[in-house]
Structure 1
Amino acid sequence: MIRSTDKHRRVLSLLRRSEWDKAHAIVMGMRDRLAFRMHGLLHRIEGDLDNARYWYDRAAVPFSKSMSAASEIEAIAALLERRDRAMRPRASSAPRTGTRRRPRRRSGSRRSLA
């Protein structure tokens, strides 16, 4: 899974403020599926549908003109949030004792019988 970066969040912020040129300048240098989706959205907003289809294909996301740009921006924001949450370290519910359990030996282990 690709970790969300400051660049992803910066592009999202620019998309929300309709600063297409600035968002495009940043996303052109990014090389992951989420960035490709953002790039496709920018081209869809610009009306360059052939180029948008290319980027959506690279993102492995179906191209659709039926979803509004605002709805897609929020869908991308939700995806970023889920990725960020998934990457955060989780606190263990049980306290760690500092001891490790040894793995159980399987029958037929390589130990010599001598």
Structure 2
Amino acid sequence: MRATALTKDTFQNHIESGVSLVDFWAPWCGPCRIQLPIVEELANELKGQANIAKVNVDDEQELAVRFGVRSIPTLLLFKDGKLVEQMVGINPKSVLKAKILNAAGK
């Protein structure tokens, strides 16, 4: 299971229900190359409990602008379509997992 790559066309539908973590990243970004494997691991571990996704800001600039993403990696945590937290920079897996499970009420 990998993090789902989202586009402006698939984004809203993906975050609409449940808990979703979305990683805004770019292939040329050094810190993103550290964060993305952590996000991919969470996609495996939390399958069925949370939606884990990624947005390439080079391909989806409109989404980055919409959510005010100015530096990457930026991780957005949604609960039933509502933004509950925005994290900028590299976040450890344990921190992300705790935030996701907390948002999910687990």
TM-score by length of 1: 0.30
Q: Whose Rg is larger?
A: 1
TM-score by length of 2: 0.32
Structure whose residues are more often strand by fraction:
2
Structure whose residues are more often helix by fraction:
1
Give the structure, 1 or 2, with the largest relative contact order (CA under 8 Å, sep 6 or more). Answer: 2
